[in-house]
Amino acid sequence: MTDPDVPGGSPTEERVAAHPELSRRALLGAAAAGTAGLVIGGLTGPLLIASPAAAPTEPAVPEPTVHPFFGAHQAGITTPVQDHLFFAAFDMVDGTDRRDLERLLRDWTAGAARLTEGLQVGASGALAGDAELPPDDTGEALDLTPSALTVTIGFGPGLFERNGVDRYGLAAARPPELERLPPFKDDALKASSSGGELGLQVCADDPQVAVHAVRNLARIAAGRAGARWSQAGFGRTSRTTAGQHTPRNLLGFKDGTNNILSDDPDGLDRDVWVARDDGPAWLAGGTYLVLRKIEVLIEDWDQEPLSSQQTIIGRAKGSGAPLSGGHELSAPDFEARVGGALAIDRASHVRLAHPSNNRGRRILRRGYNYVDGHHPDGRLDAGLVFISFQRTPGQFIAIQRALATDRLNEYVRHVGSAIFAVPPGASAGGYIGETLLG
Amino acid sequence: MTDPDVPGGSPTEERVAAHPELSRRALLGAAAAGTAGLVIGGLTGPLLIASPAAAPTEPAVPEPTVHPFFGAHQAGITTPVQDHLFFAAFDMVDGTDRRDLERLLRDWTAGAARLTEGLQVGASGALAGDAELPPDDTGEALDLTPSALTVTIGFGPGLFERNGVDRYGLAAARPPELERLPPFKDDALKASSSGGELGLQVCADDPQVAVHAVRNLARIAAGRAGARWSQAGFGRTSRTTAGQHTPRNLLGFKDGTNNILSDDPDGLDRDVWVARDDGPAWLAGGTYLVLRKIEVLIEDWDQEPLSSQQTIIGRAKGSGAPLSGGHELSAPDFEARVGGALAIDRASHVRLAHPSNNRGRRILRRGYNYVDGHHPDGRLDAGLVFISFQRTPGQFIAIQRALATDRLNEYVRHVGSAIFAVPPGASAGGYIGETLLG
């Protein structure tokens, strides 16, 4: 790293000496680039990149978490849910061909893999290279840790065929299930938060790291794909490992209690990963991502008495326990009665969404809260970026249809919708999408 | 805390036993409510609320930071800058009178003081109280720590007089300096992010804690004041203590290097706090808050070569050192030359904004990055929520006028603007605004 235009001296080196905490990224870069032996661990689960040279001066700082980008499945699905989301949907630029798409996916793979390790994108990053050319990296994450960043790439229905045109020779490869979601009762979808030919689910523990990733991947896509919409989220509303506590959504309730967890390989194979026999072959080991932007009518909800809120959800607000009793992780007893009435209401959310009400269908949820400011009428513009992964979109569709009589519907409004086929992971040297395009 | 509607048992207690990390908030509540001896420290600077009962089971969790709400000055000005912002501007409801305003400020004071300590708002919080009434607290922060929350309350010009009407008998108390900011070159202000009769600057290390505070304070205001606009921010772009490292804005540059720091009482008295002789008396110990929502034309900026970016800013992108040399904290030498040319360009941001170019005027900055998604044309909708505190608005106005020839203007656009007089702090038992209304 050099600092052009600064005469006499090397401010970068002085900076590192004056602020030892800022050397982490540089050391991580050196470790990942030149000392492969430091990177240990398998292709699944988080691994820690050790930076032993920095340890003596940084005793109190925990090692940053780096999730491997490459693997059998893409990262960001069973990965322990990070604190922040920045989801971006893209459309391909008119006039691009299959080769452009392939190159874009190769470039995104290379860029995402570097970002995941906490490296700058491009050969020269934000500071080196030709001072007369735009930097490869935009620089706002220079001093930040990898922050458990994951980038998950998906393909929307329009990538395979748009208005009857097979732009990329992919129409025959489209899984029949990959189509725009059907209309649901009470949909109020906006084009400005729906659809997309390519989807990037970017999650990180630092929102600036997530924003940096989307910004730089969008920059890499210039001339080939452009952003259609994007949505930030915070306060993960699910858990994907048994060790994560269950967070709360903006209804004030725990969310994600009964999620499919990463330590349940049978459950993942049954409900999340596309099997080879499911077809198409290119999607084996992949999954389907459904995103619904669900606005919560916050002020209406906040006017409901606690007892009513709990009846609607079917769980206790404090503990998250089902209203049939027990604790948060107790199985709901849908037959239990209190004074003759069902303890868990027939139209409660937990009952209608529960696998026992849906022929055993389950989905892996990975949602986030969002706040987009206030509406002009003074109401909070906020809700849930619902994201789920499933072996087939039919799982989500069936559950969402079962929610048609959900009493919660009075307080929510689906304003965005998107679906993506998420191809399997890639090996180092390969690229996400190679099973489709290769 | 009880869980109504859950027959047979006390799921809350089971929850605490099963998830010891969830007991922190309950313990904090108990400590703050009943054991005043645990709360130690003066009225300025952060203090840690000890929760010794929890310590044995939570060795790795750092004690949460609690900034005192009460004090000579309001919190959230010199307080070490937290990671997240949620700013909300309110207008008083038509037909309200001075008594309504006073009661609102008393209620906001009580609510904000509780939230700051990590407590739920209201007498009964989110879970207790009458199950047939709406809960006092909305609940989404139940399991979260205080997260260094601060709430800073300000009064906009319209509170004193609106359309020539003196609704609250305050017209004579309006400081002449408290008026809508004058137009500046290249303003592109939107009503949807400008103005406001009351302002709440809410900062916290957890965005959900900040959102929870605004949501519940807005709820408390119902019928008296309604939200006009709000804006979330992340990645603090300033530092207010010497111990905080300098973060980066979305230009990729370090921001806030030359800020007024909390350990500079002379500087604060000279440039930030309104003195008794400044008038009006009710504002002594207070300050003026200026907010500018500054969109960055990200894609244009990202096309600039590194050398050009650095010339425009006047600093090295990597180290933050002025282009006259040295390190980040070196004083810029505006006379230094490199090969005959000025090292720091005449139209560079650092030169035009520097106190030496502004008769020594300085302001305390407390800005945040923001991302509002993407524009319909695919450009990132992002930039800086610029917030500054100053003894008189004239400091900001003069500096902003000096920036009229700033080369950076080509890449930014001011889309929001607001100004608030920030009254001094209150003592426990008093309320923010009592010097004006009392």
What are the residues whose beta carbons fall under 8 Å from the beta carbon of A173, sequence distance 6 or more? A160, A280, A282, A436
d(CA A190, CA A372): 14
- Over its length of 438 residues, how does chain A's per-residue pLDDT go in tens digits? 333 333 333 333 333 333 333 333 433 433 333 322 222 223 333 433 333 333 334 345 567 899 999 999 999 999 999 999 999 999 999 999 999 999 999 999 999 999 999 999 998 899 988 888 999 999 999 999 999 999 999 999 999 999 999 999 999 999 999 999 999 988 999 999 999 999 999 999 999 999 999 999 999 999 999 999 999 999 999 999 999 999 999 999 999 999 999 999 999 999 999 999 999 999 999 999 999 999 999 999 999 999 999 999 999 999 999 999 999 999 999 999 999 999 999 999 999 999 999 999 999 999 999 999 999 999 999 999 999 999 999 999 999 999 999 999 999 999 999 999 999 999 999 999 999 999
**pLDDT for residue A64:** 83
Token pair belonging to B392: 């008189």
Determine the distance in angstroms separating the CA of A57 from the nearest CA of chain B, rounded to an integer. 16
Given an 8 Å threshold on Cβ–Cβ distance, is A207 in contact with B320? no
Q: For residues A39, A40, A45 and A46, what is the CA-based torsion angle, rounded to 10 degrees?
A: -50
Size of interface A-B (CB pairs under 8 A): 288
d(CA B283, CA B174): 10
* DSSP SS3 for B421: strand
* DSSP SS3 for A34: helix
- DSSP states of B370-404: EEEEE-TTS-EEEEEEEEEEESSHHHHHHHHHHGG
Contacts of B11 in chain A (CB under 8 A): 316, 318-321, 325-328
Checking DSSP bridges between strand A337-338 and strand A65-66, what pairing results, if any?
unpaired
User: Shortest CB distance from B374 goes to which of A129, A229, A338?
Assistant: A229
Contacts of A257 in chain B (CB under 8 A): none
Confirm if A390 and A271 have CB atoms less than 8 A apart: yes
d(CA A274, CA B12): 39
d(CA A435, CA A282): 5
Given an 8 Å threshold on Cβ–Cβ distance, is A343 in contact with B7? yes
Given an 8 Å threshold on Cβ–Cβ distance, is A374 in contact with B1? no
Given an 8 Å threshold on Cβ–Cβ distance, is B5 in contact with A310? yes
Given an 8 Å threshold on Cβ–Cβ distance, is A318 in contact with B227? no
Given an 8 Å threshold on Cβ–Cβ distance, is A3 in contact with B143? no
d(CA B359, CA A387): 54
Strands (DSSP E) contained in B211-265 are: 225-234
What is the residue type of A437? L
Contacts of B227 in chain A (CB under 8 A): 374, 378-380
CB atoms within 10 A of CB B346: 11
Given an 8 Å threshold on Cβ–Cβ distance, is B380 in contact with A192? no
Given an 8 Å threshold on Cβ–Cβ distance, is B9 in contact with A229? no
* Chain B residue with minimum CA distance to A381: B230
- Over its length of 438 residues, how does chain B's per-residue pLDDT go in tens digits? 333 333 333 333 332 333 333 333 433 433 333 322 222 223 333 433 333 333 334 345 567 899 999 999 999 999 999 999 999 999 999 999 999 999 999 999 999 999 999 999 998 899 988 888 899 999 999 999 999 999 999 999 999 999 999 999 999 999 999 999 999 988 999 999 999 999 999 999 999 999 999 999 999 999 999 999 999 999 999 999 999 999 999 999 999 999 999 999 999 999 999 999 999 999 999 999 999 999 999 999 999 999 999 999 999 999 999 999 999 999 999 999 999 999 999 999 999 999 999 999 999 999 999 999 999 999 999 999 999 999 999 999 999 999 999 999 999 999 999 999 999 999 999 999 999 999
Contacts of B320 in chain A (CB under 8 A): 11, 15
Determine the distance in angstroms separating the CA of B386 from the nearest CA of chain A, rounded to an integer. 17
d(CA B80, CA B241): 6
d(CA B74, CA B149): 12
* Chain B residue with minimum CA distance to A322: B6
Token pair belonging to A10: 């090397």
* DSSP SS3 for A28: helix
Contacts of A130 in chain B (CB under 8 A): 305
Confirm if B271 and B263 have CB atoms less than 8 A apart: no
Confirm if A203 and A150 have CB atoms less than 8 A apart: yes
What are the residues whose beta carbons fall under 8 Å from the beta carbon of B67, sequence distance 6 or more? B46, B47, B75, B76, B79, B116, B148, B149, B150
Contacts of A141 in chain B (CB under 8 A): 248
Instruction: Identify the CA nearest to A187 among candidates A424, A438, A397, A432.
Output: A397
ipTM for this prediction:
0.88
Instruction: Identify the CA nearest to A291 among candidates A161, A131, A152, A423.
Output: A152
Q: For residue B420, what are the β-bridge partners?
A: B289
Q: How many residues does chain A have?
A: 438
User: Which of B1, B3, B324, B350 best tests the A interface by mutation, with the highest count of A CBs <10 A?
Assistant: B3
- DSSP states of A146-196: -TT-EEEEEE-HHHH-BTTB-TTS-GGGS-TT-SPPPP-TTB---GGGS--
Contacts of A192 in chain B (CB under 8 A): 376
Cite the DSSP H helix spans in B221-272: 265-271
Residue A81 DSSP one-character state: P
Given an 8 Å threshold on Cβ–Cβ distance, is B5 in contact with A316? yes
User: Shortest CB distance from A304 goes to which of B126, B134, B302?
Assistant: B134
User: Which of B1, B5, B299, B411 best tests the A interface by mutation, with the highest count of A CBs <10 A?
Assistant: B5
CB atoms within 10 A of CB B87: 29
Contacts of B411 in chain A (CB under 8 A): none
Token pair belonging to A38: 């430091």
d(CA B351, CA B344): 7
* DSSP SS3 for B416: strand
Contacts of B245 in chain A (CB under 8 A): 19, 21-22, 143
What are the residues whose beta carbons fall under 8 Å from the beta carbon of B52, sequence distance 6 or more? none
Token pair belonging to A308: 């009513």
d(CA A209, CA A221): 18
CB atoms within 10 A of CB B404: 11
* DSSP SS3 for B56: helix
Return the ∠ at Cα B19 (arms to B14 and B20), rounded to 5°.
105
| Alpha carbon of residue B7 to chain centroid | 44
Confirm if A408 and A402 have CB atoms less than 8 A apart: no
pTM: 0.89
What is the residue type of B286? G
Contacts of A317 in chain B (CB under 8 A): 3, 126-127, 135, 139
Given an 8 Å threshold on Cβ–Cβ distance, is A320 in contact with B130? no
Average pLDDT in chain B: 88
Determine the distance in angstroms separating the CA of A6 from the nearest CA of chain B, rounded to an integer. 5
Contacts of A307 in chain B (CB under 8 A): 4-5, 131-132
What are the residues whose beta carbons fall under 8 Å from the beta carbon of A166, sequence distance 6 or more? A160
Q: For residues B39, B44, B46 and B52, what is the CA-based torsion angle, rounded to 10 degrees?
A: -10
Given an 8 Å threshold on Cβ–Cβ distance, is A316 in contact with B1? no
d(CA B275, CA B132): 50
What is the residue type of A126? A
Given an 8 Å threshold on Cβ–Cβ distance, is B14 in contact with A327? yes
User: Shortest CB distance from A138 goes to which of B252, B323, B371?
Assistant: B252
* Chain B residue with minimum CA distance to A93: B378
Contacts of B205 in chain A (CB under 8 A): none
Residues B72-107: tens digit of each pLDDT: 999 999 999 999 999 999 999 999 999 999 999 999
Given an 8 Å threshold on Cβ–Cβ distance, is B320 in contact with A134? no
Token pair belonging to A105: 């996916």
Contacts of A243 in chain B (CB under 8 A): none
Q: Which residue has the tokens 């620089």?
A: A139
Given an 8 Å threshold on Cβ–Cβ distance, is A326 in contact with B9? yes
Determine the distance in angstroms separating the CA of A284 from the nearest CA of chain B, rounded to an integer. 32
CA atoms within 13 A of residue A296's CA, in its CB half-sphere: 22
CB atoms within 10 A of CB B39: 15
User: Shortest CB distance from A7 goes to which of B319, B343, B380?
Assistant: B343
Given an 8 Å threshold on Cβ–Cβ distance, is A319 in contact with B231? no
Given an 8 Å threshold on Cβ–Cβ distance, is B373 in contact with A3? no
d(CA A143, CA A16): 10
* Chain A residue with minimum CA distance to B373: A230
Instruction: Identify the CA nearest to A90 among candidates A238, A217, A256.
Output: A217
Given an 8 Å threshold on Cβ–Cβ distance, is A325 in contact with B9? yes
Checking DSSP bridges between strand B225-234 and strand B84-92, what pairing results, if any?
antiparallel
Instruction: Identify the CA nearest to B150 among candidates B234, B237, B45.
Output: B45
Confirm if A195 and A89 have CB atoms less than 8 A apart: yes
Contacts of A253 in chain B (CB under 8 A): 139
The alpha carbons of chain A give a radius of gyration, in whole angstroms, of 23
Return the ∠ at Cα B101 (arms to B100 and B106), rounded to 5°.
95
Instruction: Identify the CA nearest to B159 among candidates B73, B244, B67, B225.
Output: B225
CA distances from A68 to A49, A51, A352, A387 (A): 10, 17, 37, 21
**Residue A226 main-chain phi, psi, to 5 deg:** -125, 150
